[in-house]
């Protein structure tokens, strides 16, 4: 660190390399991407045991505000309580099984009335009233019946739930991921883009993809101008809790790039100009852009409304990318987060729902902001509407669309009798780690890293 102050040594996240876990070399076969029995086992042994994200805290700010989220065949109802907390319930009426709340989102409900026979449930899951309460030989249900509540937590501006009543704490589940993400103040961000795609591929195609960067030169050829593609110049860490991270230098071309200076300067022009640096001054020394931007951001950040105090210099320019087991990625930037998630389809293992959110951290005093990361103006006070459709009908922006364009064709290949299983290089070890962790759940583990 430049100033040499002891505190500065600990600025930002702890980037020390984690020990590499021992990994096996069994082939990952294609049938786990399409066999119904496998998907059913995933549901029983894994999805119903892990912490998952229902939505954003800001979606339900006031008592009685609620949202429902779909995961596989389940619908989960999250309700803001009078004391400010959130409770989560299976979205099912305990009279005779009607789904209780139909809408995705609602405000200020005092109670939830079932559309079938009118049982009324309180915000806290208590049964408030039923028609003909004196007609129950087993006793008035209001005295004994409640909505089926499940563990629920709020952290980092996100609402988390777990279908396992005996689950480990969210802290134990997250492990080191918690401190790393906290550094980025997700709770201060706003969702400024939200796209949900109905995908013709297994959910694991998505998690696999974001667990490796081996595909960058082929799927994202433009990235060689602005980021380091070579794995030996990146850091990969595999956490005992099943999550992983990648540090990839950004704001400079990949070290092996020769020539193509115009393309590099052009790709970096907007960001350099934004920070009062002249792109032309880097002619003949494009590898210096990254450090120059770090110095400049440190110097000018506060006057532009940013707070970079918690970040180390590399965080100001590089790609700090996290894959959380089982189904979520957080790609962190000083002014935002790309959130990527694949949820399983209720019946068909060859389909899933892919969610793309962009969460923006607004500089102090800015309600409107040009998000460099998504290349558009975004507004703090207008929540992003959900756009939903198939690939081609809706877009996650050019970069992520390049990823999505792969998965349906990959699913076809994974389904082929001719596919004999993976043959992966070491740099893709986060993919292997992910599958081995999934296998641990399928073998009966209910948490990792204990
Ligand atoms: S099923 Fe809900 S009131 Fe009958
Ligand atoms: Fe990609």
With respect to residue 450, please indicate whether it lies within any of the assigned structural domains: no
With respect to residue 80, please indicate whether it lies within any of the assigned structural domains: yes
pLDDT (mean) for 105-133: 98
Distance 59 CA to ligand 1 centre (A): 27
CB 226 within 8 A of CB 266: no
Q: What secondary structure letter does DSSP report for 118?
A: -
With respect to residue 290, please indicate whether it lies within any of the assigned structural domains: no
CB 316 within 8 A of CB 250: no
Kindly give, in sequence order, each residue whose CB lies less than 8 Å from that of residue 16, ignoring residues fewer than 6 positions away.
none
Q: For residue 205, what is the domain's CATH number?
A: 3.90.380.10
With respect to residue 274, please indicate whether it lies within any of the assigned structural domains: no
CA–CA dist 231, 236 (Å, integer): 9
- Strand extents, DSSP E, 325-403: 328-333, 336-344, 352-360, 368-371, 376-379, 387-389
Task: Specify whether 111 is located in the same domain as 219.
Answer: no
String of b and e for 218-231 (b: at least 16 CB within 10 Å)?
eebeebbbbbbbbb
Q: Which ligand is nearest to the CA of 402?
A: 2
With respect to residue 244, please indicate whether it lies within any of the assigned structural domains: yes
- Specify the pLDDT at position 11: 82
Q: Above 60 in pLDDT, residue 2?
A: no
Task: Specify whether 320 is located in the same domain as 355.
Answer: yes
With respect to residue 285, please indicate whether it lies within any of the assigned structural domains: no
Distance 98 CA to ligand 2 centre (A): 41
CA–CA dist 220, 363 (Å, integer): 29
Distance 67 CA to ligand 1 centre (A): 20
With respect to residue 267, please indicate whether it lies within any of the assigned structural domains: no
- Specify the pLDDT at position 285: 97
CA distance to 21, 228, 372, 379, per residue, from 232 (Å): 18, 9, 27, 39
Task: Specify whether 119 is located in the same domain as 239.
Answer: no
Task: Specify whether 109 is located in the same domain as 149.
Answer: yes
- Specify the pLDDT at position 10: 59
How many distinct structural domains can be found in the chain? 2
Task: Specify whether 125 is located in the same domain as 249.
Answer: no
Determine whether the shortest distance from the Cβ of 197 to ligand 1 is under 6 A: no
Residue 341: name the closest of 77, 74, 69 by CA: 69
In 62-166, alpha helices (H): none
Task: Specify whether 384 is located in the same domain as 353.
Answer: yes
Q: Kindly state the helix (H) or strand (E) to which residue 245 belongs, with its residue range.
A: strand 244-248
- The residue range of the domain holding 333 is 6-37+185-254+309-442
Task: Specify whether 33 is located in the same domain as 57.
Answer: no
Query: What would the pLDDT profile of 323-382 be if each residue is shown by its tens digit?
Result: 999 999 999 998 999 999 999 999 999 999 999 999 999 999 889 988 877 778 899 988
Q: Above 60 in pLDDT, residue 183?
A: yes
Determine whether the shortest distance from the Cβ of 119 to ligand 1 is under 6 A: yes
Q: For residue 139, what is the domain's CATH number?
A: 2.102.10.10
Closest-lying ligand 1 atom to the alpha carbon of residue 96: 1
Distance 401 CA to ligand 2 centre (A): 9
Determine whether the shortest distance from the Cβ of 351 to ligand 1 is under 6 A: no
CB 209 within 8 A of CB 215: yes
Q: Above 70 in pLDDT, residue 442?
A: yes
Distance 403 CA to ligand 2 centre (A): 5
Q: Above 70 in pLDDT, residue 8?
A: no
Q: Above 90 in pLDDT, residue 65?
A: yes
DSSP letter for each residue of 194-230: EEEEEESS-HHHHHHHHT--TTHHHH-GGGGGTB---
With respect to residue 142, please indicate whether it lies within any of the assigned structural domains: yes
CB 207 within 8 A of CB 326: yes
The angle formed by the CA atoms of residues 300, 310 and 188, to the nearest 5 degrees, is: 90
Q: Which ligand is nearest to the CA of 219?
A: 2
Determine whether the shortest distance from the Cβ of 368 to ligand 1 is under 6 A: no
- Specify the pLDDT at position 284: 96
Determine whether the shortest distance from the Cβ of 116 to ligand 1 is under 6 A: yes
Task: Specify whether 72 is located in the same domain as 141.
Answer: yes
Query: What would the pLDDT profile of 247-304 be if each residue is shown by its tens digit?
Result: 999 999 999 999 999 999 999 999 999 999 999 999 999 999 999 999 999 999 999 9
Scanning the structure block, which residue is given the tokens 């396992």? 164
- Specify the pLDDT at position 371: 80
Q: Which ligand is nearest to the CA of 119?
A: 1
CA–CA dist 399, 430 (Å, integer): 21
Determine whether the shortest distance from the Cβ of 114 to ligand 1 is under 6 A: yes
Angle between helices 203-210 and 398-414 (to 10 degrees): 120
pLDDT above 70 as % of the chain: 98
pTM for the model: 0.95
Query: What would the pLDDT profile of 389-439 be if each residue is shown by its tens digit?
Result: 999 999 999 999 999 999 999 999 999 999 999 999 999 999 999 999 999
Q: Kindly state the helix (H) or strand (E) to which residue 299 belongs, with its residue range.
A: helix 289-300
CB 195 within 8 A of CB 356: yes
CA–CA dist 190, 60 (Å, integer): 13
Q: Above 80 in pLDDT, residue 51?
A: yes
Bridge partner list, 122: 111
Using omega within 30 degrees of 0 as the cis cutoff, is the peptide bond preceding 326 cis? yes
Scanning the structure block, which residue is given the tokens 């930002």? 12
Instruction: Residue 260: count other Cβ atoms within 10 Å of its Cβ.
Output: 14
CA distance to 113, 201, 319, per residue, from 255 (Å): 62, 34, 15
| Three-state secondary-structure class, residue 24 | coil
Task: Specify whether 362 is located in the same domain as 241.
Answer: yes
Task: Specify whether 241 is located in the same domain as 318.
Answer: yes
Distance 106 CA to ligand 2 centre (A): 35
pLDDT (mean) for 195-204: 98
Confidence of residue 446 (pLDDT cuts 50, 70, 90): very high
Closest-lying ligand 1 atom to the alpha carbon of residue 130: 3
Task: Specify whether 342 is located in the same domain as 435.
Answer: yes
Task: Specify whether 213 is located in the same domain as 313.
Answer: yes
Q: Give me the sign of the Cα torsion angle 307, 313, 314, 316.
A: positive
């Amino acid at each position: 660190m430049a100033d040499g102050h002891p505190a500065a040594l600990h600025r930002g996240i702890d980037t020390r390399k984690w020990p590499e876990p021992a990994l096996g070399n069994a082939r990952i076969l294609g049938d786990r991407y399409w066999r119904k029995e496998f998907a059913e086992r995933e549901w029983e042994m894994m999805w119903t045991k892990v912490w998952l994200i229902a939505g954003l805290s800001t979606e339900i700010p006031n008592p009685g505000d609620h949202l429902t989220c779909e995961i596989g065949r389940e619908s989960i109802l999250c309700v803001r309580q009078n004391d400010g907390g959130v409770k989560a319930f299976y979205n099912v009426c305990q009279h005779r099984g009607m789904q209780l709340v139909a809408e995705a989102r609602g405000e200020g409900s005092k109670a939830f009335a079932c559309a079938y026979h009118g049982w009324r449930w309180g915000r806290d899951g208590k049964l408030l009233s039923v028609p003909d309460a004196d007609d129950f030989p087993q006793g008035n249900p209001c005295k004994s019946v409640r909505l089926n509540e499940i563990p629920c937590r709020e952290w980092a501006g996100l609402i988390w739930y777990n279908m396992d009543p005996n689950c480990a704490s969210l802290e134990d589940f997250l492990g080191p991921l918690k401190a790393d993400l906290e550094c980025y103040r997700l709770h201060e961000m706003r969702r400024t883009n939200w796209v949900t795609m109905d995908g013709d591929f297994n959910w694991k195609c998505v998690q696999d993809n974001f667990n490796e960067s081996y595909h960058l030169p082929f799927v994202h050829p433009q990235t060689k101008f602005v980021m380091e593609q070579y794995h030996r110049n990146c850091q990969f860490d595999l956490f005992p809790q099943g999550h992983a991270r990648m540090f990839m230098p950004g704001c400079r071309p990949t070290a092996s790039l020769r020539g193509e200076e115009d393309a590099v300067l052009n790709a970096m022009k907007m960001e350099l100009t934004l920070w009062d640096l002249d792109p032309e001054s880097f002619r003949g020394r494009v590898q210096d852009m990254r450090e120059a931007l770090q110095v400049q951001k440190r110097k000018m950040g506060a006057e532009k409304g940013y707070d970079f105090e918690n970040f180390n210099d590399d965080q100001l320019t590089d790609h700090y990318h996290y894959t959380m087991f089982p189904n979520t990625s957080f790609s962190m930037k000083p002014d935002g987060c790309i959130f990527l998630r694949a949820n399983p389809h209720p019946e068909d293992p060859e389909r899933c729902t892919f969610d793309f959110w962009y969460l923006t951290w607004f500089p102090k005093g800015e309600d409107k902001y040009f998000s460099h990361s998504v290349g558009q103006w975004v507004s703090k006070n207008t929540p992003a509407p959900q756009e939903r459709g198939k690939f081609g009908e809706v877009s996650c922006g050019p970069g992520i669309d390049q990823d999505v364009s792969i998965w349906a064709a990959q699913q076809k290949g994974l389904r082929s009798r001719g596919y004999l299983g993976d043959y992966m290089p070491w740099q893709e070890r986060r993919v292997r780690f992910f599958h081995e962790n999934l296998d641990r759940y399928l073998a009966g583990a209910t948490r990792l890293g204990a």
